[in-house]
Structures are given as C-alpha cells and as structure tokens.
Structure 1
Amino acid sequence: MGLNLPASLSYEKRGRIAIITMNRPEAMNSLTKEMLIGLEAAFDDFNKDPELRCAIFTGAGERAFCTGLDLKVALPALNEGDALGYEDPAKRPFQTVYKPIICAINGVCVAGGLEFLLGTDIRIAAEHAKFGLAEVRWAVVPAGGSHVRLPQQIPWAIAMELLLTGNTIDAQRAYEVGLINKVVPADRLLDEALAYAERICENGPLAVRTAKEIALRALSNEPAFVLEKTMSARVFASEDAREGPRAFAAKTKPEYHGR
C-alpha cells in the first residue's frame, strides 16, 4: 500500500470497499496528531484508488467510536499555536473526498469524533452510542467544522443545544433528529455498514462520485470554515481556554471569567 500509518490506525481493502479503523480502544480512540495525519493519508489513498468505490469508517472496541483529542495533551498545544488539525483554514474532514463514506459508530462519538462523523455520508450507530460536543464545558469550541456542518444537517434548535450546553444525546435521539440513518445492535454494526457499502458499489461509480461532489460543492462551505477558524483562534488563546484543560486534568470545577 505504501502508506506509513501509525499502529493506532488500520486500513483494509476488501474488494471495492475500504475499511478504515481508529485502533486505540484503550484510550476511547482519542486522536493523536499522528492519527490525524494518518487518517488524512488513508482517506487520500482511498479517494485516489480506482478500485475502491466506498469506505467504512469506524473505531475499534465496544466503548467508543472516537472521543476527539486528548484535552490534557491537545489543548495546551493548541493554546501555544500548535496546529493539530488541518492547516488550510478552508478545509475540514473529508471536504474533498468525493467517494461515499459510511460511518459505523460503535460507541461514544463526541468532540472530534462527531466532527469526523459530520463529514461522512451514511451513518449507522450501535444502540449504546452517544453523541455530543462538550468543548464549551472546557472553554473552547469545536473548530473542526461543527458550527457550519451541524446546523446544516439537523434542526437549528437541536444543533444549538449540542453546541451551547455540551450535553450528549443517545443513538435513538440522534436518529430522530436525522443525525444518523439507522440504529442497530452492536453485533450487527459492521454487517449493516457493509450491506450499505455493497449496495452503493452496485451503482455506476462515476454517477455516485459525481452525485456526492455536486452535493458537497453546492454547499460552498469554504468561506464559513475560514470564519470558524479565525473566530475560534481567539477562544483557544484565552485565559479560560487554559483554565479548562487544567480543571479537566485536575478533575475540579473550572472557574471561568470570560477572558
């Protein structure tokens, strides 16, 4: 394959289907900088491989799909200006991947995990999955596209509830508001995702890619992503954004002062 991926990622090509798995279950599949770089490389390979028509994106283990970045490590780095995500301010996860991506959510899907989900096309969740954006609880914002994509994909009031409270919703509620397509028992999750992928692979590949590309490009989200990145930078540089991860690491209640 020629890809130098970290052990925390696996990339399997099964016929016309790629299966890309975050493989760090002991850490709830939380993301490291190496994983972010590896995921971009794996999906770029998938996007360019003429033999592959559909991808399944999932996490290892039974507890979590992905819980985003490790606050104890990532937020201090972001405070200091270390770009852990995409350096192009107009780019977000899967923004230029025009082949279909099916997300198989095997557990908790919060923070950066939810931001990755928002870039996928069809979403199947295990019954015990939970969804949320807890960033505001730690005085930061989900700057990976959530402010733009989430209100596009679910009703405004529900999007604001997730963005402003930091609360989570369960799989059934996520299905009711249209965030996911289907809820299944955990032991059927991969089979359901594969069934969707195989059905897509029966269709004309050029037509499928074009349908997704038109839908994505018609959204014209790039200026909104630049706005999100620019405005979120002032939050990450704030005193509150230093207090948030400190309190998280110490397991104490943070004291915020709005500066």
Structure 2
Amino acid sequence: MSLIVEKKNHILYVTINRPEAMNSITPELKDELHATFDEFEADDTLRVAILTGAGEKAFCAGADLKKLVPKMSSGERPIAVSDQRWFSNVYKPIITAVNGWCLAGGVEMMNGTDIRIASEHARFGLSEAKWALYPAGGSVVRLVRHLPWARAMEIILTGNQFTAEEAYHMGLINKVVPKEKLIETAEEYAEKIANNGPLAVRAIKEMAVRSLDLPMSQAFYWDSYMSTKIFKTEDAKEGPKAFAEKRKPNFIGK
C-alpha cells in the first residue's frame, strides 16, 4: 500500500508509504494522491488534512527516477496542469509534516500546501536543474510568488540543499520541531483549524488561491462576494452568539 489514508475528528491523515524508496512518487502514487485530495475536497465531514511520509528518513525525495521520470521524458505520461498545480483545486487547508528529506517533487508537493511543519533533521532542495530536468510540479511559478525573487531563483537554479532552519528563516515553512513532536505539532494546527467555522475557513482558502490569478481590483470584488456569502450563513450567526455567551460555538457547516 503506497498511500495510507485515515480519517479522525474532521481531520484527514495522508501518509506516503514508500519508505524503502524515500517515499518517491510513482505514476500510480501521483494519481492516487490527486484522487485522495479530490475526495477530501468533496467530503463535508473533513475540514483539514495532514500530509506526511512514512518513517523518519524522508517526507518525499521527489519523482521515482526509475518509474515516473522515464515516462515523462519519453512523452508516455504528458505533464498535465493538474500535476503542476499540486492541490490548487483543493479549498480546504492542508498541513505538511516534513519528516526528513524533502527534495525535488517533494518540495513541489509541499509548495501546494498551506502550513508546513518540519522536523529538525529535515533537508530541502530542488535538484532538477542539476540533472538537466525541469521542476514540473509548479515550483517555478509558485516560489517566485512565495519568496523574494533572489532567494527563489537561488533555490531553483543552483539545486543546492538547505536545512530546516534555513527553510524557516526564508519563510518556506512555519515551524521547526524535534522529530518526536512533528505529528503532534501538525495536529495542534489541524485541530485549531478544524474547530473554526468550516465554511469560513474554506472560503478564506479559496479566496487566497483565486486572488493569485486576479488583478487587485477584481480580487477585492470577489473578496466582497465571498464575505457577503459567509455572513449569510447560520455559522456566522452562531459564532458571535457563542462569543457573547462565553461558550464554545457549535458550527454545523451551514
């Protein structure tokens, strides 16, 4: 089983389960990941996901050089936009727990998630250019938006590896923790998000993603539309009421 999927208390746990191959991505695993997160997006009982890799050695070392890369190089498996835009059609939060090496396609997958926690021994790098390959998972597009231009281009063009602390200081990840605290910390974030209004959380994530493609004037228009839509929900009435009554809100997703 190359992918382990579990559900618990509104949280989806997705574990890449190929530790013997540094959790590298095969064609079948890539398709399975896309299908799993499509199902996550459609399941109203789930509010947030945690993505990690099996074992302590690697989160994901990128594409399987024996299986996926040859199919891409030969044209047998065309590079689809869905492959480049990891999780960009998912409007629920995704948290990545990076447990070790996060290289090439692993970084690209992580770039499509929202909150990133790394263990102290985690290492990062986009090495494609070193081997005359292209980082086809969206990093060229995303990193120049997420990081300062010079920092993004250094990562993409040199292929140099960097530590979890360096990733934290450049703003690529949110927190660095001891390896034994990795999943626990990811769960703390997930539980906080899962306890928030699910419709509001989803609308915030969707607007943030969509705004990247819009001029600011149009983005504010859609921002107004989203906020109006959320303020009309039952949850938007329950939240302030619970605050006034000094109790925990009971959000129903309506």
| TM-score under structure 2 length normalisation | 0.81
User: Alignment partner for residue 37 of structure 2, among 29, 39, 43?
Assistant: 43
Which residues of 2 match residues 43-192 of structure 1 at below 5 A?
43-83=37-77, 85=79, 87-88=80-81, 92-192=85-185
1:180, 1:194 → 2: CA distance? Answer: 16
Q: Secondary structure at the match of 2:96?
A: strand
Q: Which runs of 5+ in 1 are unaligned?
A: 1-6, 222-259
Structure 1 residues 99 and 140, CA, compared in 2 at 3 Å: closer, same or farther? same
Segments of 4+ moved more than 3 angstroms: 88-91
Structure 2 residue 200 is the aligned partner of structure 1 residue 207: yes
Structure 1 residues 171 and 18, CA, compared in 2 at 3 Å: closer, same or farther? same
Moved more, 155-164 or 87-96: 87-96
Greater RCO, 1 or 2 (C-alpha within 8 Å, sep 6+): 1
Q: Which amino acid aligns with 1:207?
A: A
Q: Residue 33 of structure 1: CA displacement?
A: 0.6
- Matched with 1:16 is 10
Q: Which amino acid aligns with 2:210?
A: R
1:188, 1:68 → 2: CA distance? Answer: 24
Structure 1 residues 55 and 90, CA, compared in 2 at 3 Å: closer, same or farther? closer
> How many matched pairs?
214
Which residues of 2 match residues 219-230 of structure 1 at below 5 A?
219-220=212-213
Q: Residue 155 of structure 1: CA displacement?
A: 1.5
Contact kept, 8 Å, 2:84 with 2:136, in 1: the verdict is no
| TM-score under structure 1 length normalisation | 0.80
Q: Residue 92 of structure 1: CA displacement?
A: 1.1
Identity %: 56
Deviations 1:115-165 (A, max 9, x none): 000000000000010111000010011011000101111111111111111
Q: Residue 84 of structure 1: CA displacement?
A: 6.2
User: Alignment partner for residue 218 of structure 1, among 211, 218, 223?
Assistant: 211
2:70, 2:186 → 1: CA distance? Answer: 37
1:24, 1:53 → 2: CA distance? Answer: 26
1:25, 1:89 → 2: CA distance? Answer: 25
Moved more, 202-211 or 69-78: 69-78
Q: Which runs of 5+ in 2 are unaligned?
A: 215-254
